[in-house]
Amino acid sequence: MVMIIKADGTKVPFDREKAKRSCENASASSSLAEEIITIVEQNLREGMTTSEMKKMIYSELDKRESHTAAIYNIRKAIAALDPVTHQFEKYICHLYQYYGYETEWSPVPKPQGFCTDHEIDVLLRKGDEISFVECKHHFSYHRFTGLKVPMRVWARLQDLKDGFEGKKRGSYNFKEAIIVTNTKFSAHAQQYAECKNKNLELVGWNYPDDNRCLNNLIEQKRAYPLTILNLDTQTVLRLCELGVHDIKDFVYVSPDILARSGLSREKISQLRELVENIVGKK
């Protein structure tokens, strides 16, 4: 049995079914997934890293179905969102609109608590209910988001609630705080958020274990980030400035506007075809 080295340095046996399932989760057919994993098995070597194995799977998928390969690369694509220009926060702000929320990124003036005002990443409104989102984006998506994050966010939520009860000007009646990350949460972070009904919702990779986890929120709406299209950083930045935050926007926005990003008409046509295949892939 070939041993694979995980990101944390531990060695595990190659798991054929897990590798195949990862292809199927990217919308590959069972027969295509079987074909890909058979090729990968033939090229495995002792001590290969999971990153190298995934690159091999991605490469083989891309030769056959570029739209499936793009979906397979989703975690890497989210990690590649630019932190300097707050692309992850803006992407999450846009994502929640698909679920019926009115959203506002980094509202100004800042919501007022009892003791101080607070910078928040995303303000959510649905009917009479108001929540806020704290976004935690990590380039290294294998790490865990730990206990300190929900502890800090809960303290912020309490001051904001106290501000509303104290009738502070600029305060909001927040129902809950939502922490969204592209990583998994540590066991302690999960335990803390679930304790005593803290009005904290954790949304991470495969957590919670239902339709509310980040990957499922994205998949249900096919609202993948622009970075799955393998565009350079500056092009993604210019597209975001034009109001294009995910691949569905790329289809709905006119080519004339997309061209302002510096993309050629030919490239725009190619990308729109790719996006239509991704969005339509079931």
Q: What is the pTM of this model?
A: 0.93
Range with the poorest average pLDDT among 202-206, 252-256, 277-281: 277-281
Q: Is the pLDDT of residue 281 over 90?
A: no
Q: How far is the C-alpha of 208 from the C-alpha of 171, rounded, in Å?
A: 30
Please state, as a whole number, how many other Cβ atoms lie within 10 Å of the Cβ of residue 33: 22
- Stretch 99-105: mean pLDDT: 98
Q: Is the pLDDT of residue 196 over 80?
A: no
Percent of all residues in the chain with a pLDDT value above 90, rounded to a whole number: 91
- Stretch 193-210: mean pLDDT: 91
CA distances (Å), origin 129, targets 99, 111, 174, 176, 277: 14, 15, 7, 9, 36
Q: How far is the C-alpha of 40 from the C-alpha of 15, rounded, in Å?
A: 12
Q: Is the pLDDT of residue 158 over 60?
A: yes
Helix (H) or strand (E) holding 104: strand 102-105
Confidence class of residue 282 from pLDDT cuts 50, 70 and 90? low
- Amino acid of residue 90: K
User: So what's the pLDDT on residue 8?
Assistant: 85
| 17-62 per-position pLDDT tens digit | 999 999 999 999 999 999 999 999 999 999 899 999 999 999 999 9
- Token pair for 168: 């502070």
Confidence class of residue 13 from pLDDT cuts 50, 70 and 90? very high
Report the SS3 class of residue 18: helix
Class of residue 242 by CB neighbours under 10 A (exposed 0-12, middle 13-18, buried 19+): middle
- Stretch 129-156: mean pLDDT: 96
Q: How far is the C-alpha of 21 from the C-alpha of 26, rounded, in Å?
A: 9
- Stretch 184-201: mean pLDDT: 93
User: So what's the pLDDT on residue 19?
Assistant: 96
